[in-house]
A and B are shown apart, each in its own frame.
Chain A
Amino acid sequence: MIDADLVRHAVEAAQRAGADAADALQLASDSVEARVRGDEIEYVKQARERALGLRAFVRGARGLATALVSTSDLSRDAIQKLAEDAVALARATAPDPDAGIPSDGFARDWPELELLDARDRAVPLETRLAEAREAEAAARAVDPRIVNSEGTSVGSSFDAVALANSAGFEGRYESAQHYLSSSPVAAEDGAMQTDYWLSLARRRSELAPAASVGRRAAERALAQLGARSVATQQVPVIFEAPAARGVLGSLVGCLSGGAVYRKTSFLAGKLGERIGSDAVTVIDDGRRPSGLGSRPFDAEGQATRRTVAVEKGRLASFLLDVYSARKLGARSTGNASRGASSAPGVSPSNLWLEPGRGTLDELLRDTGRGLLVTGMFGHGFNPVTGDFSRGARGFWIEGGERAYPVEEITVAGNLADLLRDVDRVANDLLWLGSIAAPSFRVARLTVAGNS
């Protein structure tokens, strides 16, 4: 899939054109995706994508000036032209003492991360379509109130990454991703509800059975029928694992080196300080076997590793790429990520909130009265201040049980307060992507509703 010489060729072309340093990243992807609704295929899409991104650095009076160029035309002529464009562009920008490629910290070992099962390449499209039909049928079979569907999507992509730079690093790896996602529609008394469930894995053998995904999605949609709003009040709020993941996602943005050096994170300047309760431990690990965010090296060739970001409530480390590390006087944590046409930025690899003890049901029982949030929507979060306000759905909890479904409500507060008010974390850590969380409880949040 990858022409191993191409990235090296691009780096050399940039150097010949006058670059003092350069790196080149090539991405190649072959993918198929399809959606089935009921028994019928809605679409099948096959794609072949190739792209190359080149960064060129030109030395100025104070540091290096940078340009980033990319193309999906990978002919040698196009790359030659690209390299010349890059150097010309760099000469038009300002030198920056912190810009440039790293000189050390490169990955040297290539651990087996189990990111691909070669046998999966041979799986015919018909098999994937059959799985989608199976999920749709299983959803319908749960209850006659499952009357419609937004469909079941299935897909597989086989991806390859190659990176070379003028410091002599050269690396490549291949990975795959497979998924099945179901969105059935439940209806009763003229009102409709939908929810989804999915399974996502590096290897097909790790996907959940299709029927179980369809069933779970249907159960979630059905449980939401008859939802209503509640009165505005402050109560304990439990975030069920999928919603807890959304909260963690907001935190991740604030742990990112870019936001920290730009001071657009409320965590800027708080390294070493207590930012959460003892129940809050957040870990990033780029080498978790078959992890959806695993990679042997990051987008700058840095070896991936395990970073404890928050340890029992104490802010232990930010997540850094080379540039933000230089800005903050630290070392990269191997969290650089980029596409062919984007500059490196920080992203988590596999990041999770450490699970605690007890099940979600035990947590509900111990809570007595409050709100269980099963899903959130909207983007109401201000990373500079930590203030958040999100649309929510879920269940009202009375007597330690789900009393009735709720919707058209919001939960709001400040993320700094929320982290300090996390008083219980359950044991149900759930991986639905590269960020994962177990269910957890916040002692008190404002829930806004219909009064």
Chain B
Amino acid sequence: MTTSAPLRFFRERFGVDEGSLARTLGTALDGPADSADLFFEYATRDAVVLEEGIVKSGDRHLSQGVGVRVSAGEKQGYAHSDEIDTHSLIQAATTARAIAAGPAASRSVAVRGPAAPARDLYPIGSAPTDTPIAAKVALLQQIDAYARGRDARVREVLASLVCQNRHVLIAASDGTFVADAQPLLRLNVQVIVENAQGRREVARQGGGGRFELGRVLLPSYWQPLVDEAVRLALLNLEAVPCPAGAMTIVLGPGWPGVLLHEAVGHGLEGDFVRKGTSTFAGRLGQRVAAPGVTVVDDGTLPGRRGSLNVDDEGTTTQRTTLIEDGILVGFLQDRLNARLMGVPATGNGRRESYAHLPMPRMTNTFMLAGQDDPADIIRSVSRGLYAVNFSGGQVDITNGKFVFAASEAYRIEDGRITAPVKGATLIGNGPDVLTRVSRIGFDLALDRGEGTCGKDGQAVPVGNGLPTIRVDGITVGGTER
């Protein structure tokens, strides 16, 4: 087997090899411990931000470290250090062992390999962080000029481009030994507009993924993002107060899939399910959605923001069906919760960085397409709301209540889309809301690569997707009757 480039990276930079990994894992493991793993990370990030027409600052950041975890039953000991050398490794391993399982003699562990990930979902020639900053500065300046040229009411443009490259190396006592290099980039455009009456409004658009910078530099990539931000901001200038109360909602395709992320995704994460704190615990095999509703989590989509070759425990990512034709059929698992529940890990063990413990997390979560024509779905509603853009959401997984905030929505009156309304929060009940899905469009779309999910203080990049759907009865947090 040939040594993968990511592994060579750690060997050359930190002198990490099979021998030192085996010694560290051996130190971490003892009698009562079930498993031990090491997570090495070397991440670079650069950012350029434009405001008031100029790129005021260039940023470049380097973060490196190693986390050592020892698991015994449900208990985990974790120690991490920002120094990567043999001494620090052994010290962290000793600490993690003492925490999880008490002192004991070390056990011998074999580390063989190394393995490259089974496939490469982000095959790129050069990482976005390798491109000199001048090209990135030039992009933001073009975006600024273009946005201001779109409409005289554009008062301010804020644009940013963040590029990352994250090298990880994972070694575990069960023989897992894998390294990966994970590029990620994200372009953000925010436009502030002001009309003749002095009313100001704002709109944002973002996009990105795990691909080469060159794609983002093309006008065919960034111009539609800017067009959309300008269109939305101007639309918001015309928005009327949003209606309040329970009503029929039509969700547009793509990013509104954040509904799934909040309403069901978090509640299906293995840690909450195992502990019985999720409203979905114990409901496997039961109906949790209307017939025709199939929801999957898929970490294997090439180039997407939520995708990974391997998760942060070294498990190969996969497509996991969560809800099939309305029936709950699966949960999202990391290794700890999979072991404790006696099921296979699903490649959803993720962490923000070496300074964090892995947890079950989503990757790209979406509903499969149905048969309905989206235009027919809108025509089927006599009075309701058509919501096509959202900012974030949040969920209480214990009582199932979730919110998500619409940033572009319109009234539907007699089957026609009418006035744009101001942003409003939609609130619903996770186990109930998908049973109210009455129409599913054929127009499944994934978002543009802008999502970040927070859980227990850890942020990870994710994706969402949805076809146009009709939901009968969600409470809309507007101000008008």
Contact = CB atoms under 8 A, between A and B. Distances in A.
Interface of A: 37, 40-51, 66-73, 85-86, 89-90, 92-94, 96, 99, 125, 148-150, 185, 191-194, 224, 227, 229, 232, 262-264, 341, 343, 377-380, 382, 384-385, 387, 389-391, 393, 407-413, 446, 448-451
B383 interface: no
Nearest to B198: A269
A396 to B, nearest CB: 16
A96 B58 contact: no
B137 A232 contact: no
Q: Which 3 residue pairs are nearest across A and B when measured between Cβ atoms?
A: A410-B477, A378-B403, A391-B403
A94 B477 contact: no
Interface string B303-314: 000000000000
30 contacts: A44-B77, A44-B99, A46-B78, A47-B80, A47-B355, A49-B355, A68-B58, A69-B59, A69-B60, A89-B60, A92-B137, A93-B54, A99-B56, A149-B277, A150-B275, A150-B398, A229-B475, A232-B245, A341-B61, A343-B59, A377-B396, A377-B403, A379-B392, A385-B201, A391-B402, A408-B429, A412-B424, A448-B427, A450-B246, A451-B246
Interface stretch (B62-70, B205-213, B444-452): B62-70
Max count, chain B CB within 10 A of own CB: residue among A37, A93, A185, A194 = A93
A326 to B, nearest CB: 13
A262 B51 contact: yes
B481 interface: yes
Contact of A341 (B48, B59, B155): B59
B178 to A, nearest CB: 23
A395 to B, nearest CB: 15
Contacts of B55: 93-94
A71 B43 CA distance: 10
Given A263-B192, A343-B59, A450 B398 contact: no
A379 B395 CA distance: 11
B141 to A, nearest CB: 9
B82 A89 contact: no
B276 A148 contact: yes
A193 B398 contact: yes
Interface in B34-84: 45, 48, 51, 54-65, 74-82
B394 interface: yes
A384 B477 contact: no
Contact of A408 (B57, B201, B401): B401
B277 A192 contact: yes
A245 B76 CA distance: 34
Given A45-B78, A192-B277, A451-B245, A408 B62 contact: no
A67 B78 contact: no
Interface residues of B, number: 75
Q: What is the interface of chain B mostly: helix, strand, loop, or mixed?
A: strand
Nearest to B135: A92
Contacts of B387: none
A393 B394 CA distance: 14
B56 A93 contact: yes
Given A41-B75, A85-B60, A185-B277, A448 B82 contact: no
B78 A89 contact: no
B476 interface: yes
Interface in B100-145: 100, 132-134, 137
Given A70-B61, A185-B398, A343-B59, A408 B355 contact: no
Interface in B154-180: 155-156, 158
B85 to A, nearest CB: 11
A306 B230 CA distance: 40
A128 to B, nearest CB: 12
A71 B62 CA distance: 5
A186 to B, nearest CB: 9
B63 A390 contact: no
Contacts of B402: 391
Given A48-B82, A93-B57, A264-B192, A232 B398 contact: no
A128 B170 CA distance: 31
A385 B424 CA distance: 13
A378 B401 CA distance: 11
A263 B403 CA distance: 28
B478 interface: yes
A86 to B, nearest CB: 8
Interface string B234-253: 00000000101110000000
Contacts of A99: 56-57
A42 B75 contact: yes
Contact of A412 (B60, B80, B202, B425): B425
Nearest to A94: B54
A384 B402 CA distance: 25
B59 A96 contact: no
A448 B405 contact: no
A59 to B, nearest CB: 15
Nearest to B55: A93
B427 A391 contact: yes
A40 B100 CA distance: 11
Contact of B394 (A49, A229, A343, A379): A379
A229 B54 CA distance: 49
B462 to A, nearest CB: 16
Contacts of B100: 44
A379 B405 CA distance: 7
B81 A48 contact: yes
